[in-house]
Amino acid sequence: MSNLAVILSLSLVLSVPVATASDISDEADITALDSETVIEMIEQAEVARSRAADLRAEWLETRDLIEQARHDAELGELEQAARLAMRARRQSELAVEQALREAEAWKRRVVR
């Protein structure tokens, strides 16, 4: 019971705040973005997502975030679109890091 609690807590601590911190630190930069820049940010997120997908390591909500970002950008909600694009990109970067780390790390968990 305690093992799982520790795993879940660590996972949440490691994943959620990273994305949030990234959003907050860039907040000042995303309030006055033009449409072209936001579309570029969404494309960058898509490239990062596709890298994670190539490693078969994509996270659950990344595609939805990108889709929502596109939708918001079309409606002119640029700040929200930029925020979602950054979150999607960060998720994808973390997914790639995870996959690369696990290329060796899984071996340490094998029952022997």
Partner 1 sequence: MLTPRSLRRFFVCLTILLPLAASAGPEEDRAAFSAYFNKRFPDVPLAEYVNGIYAIDEQARKQWLEIEEFPPYEFAVEQGEELFRQPFANGKSYRDCFENGGIGVRQNFPRFDTEKGEVVTMEWALNRCRSQNNEAPYAWKSEEIIALSAYMAWISRGTIFAIEIPDDPAALAAYEAGKRFYYSKRGQLNLACSDCHVKSAGAFVRADHLSASLGHPSHFPVYRSKLGKMISLHSRFYGCVRDVRARPFEEQSEEYRNLEYFLTYMSNGLEVNGPGARK
Distance in angstroms (rounded) separating the CA atoms of residues 27 and 37: 15
Considering the complex, state which of residue 4 and residue 28 has its C-beta at the smaller distance from partner 1. 4
Considering the complex, state which of residue 18 and residue 33 has its C-beta at the smaller distance from partner 1. 18
The number of residues making up the chain comes to 112
Distance in angstroms (rounded) separating the CA atoms of residues 108 and 112: 10
Residues lying near partner 1 in the complex (CB under 8 A): 1-4, 7-8, 10-12, 14-15, 53, 56-63, 91, 98, 102, 105-107, 109-112
Considering the complex, state which of residue 37 and residue 63 has its C-beta at the smaller distance from partner 1. 63
Which phi and psi (to 5°) does residue 56 adopt? Answer: 55, 40
3-state SS, residue 66: helix
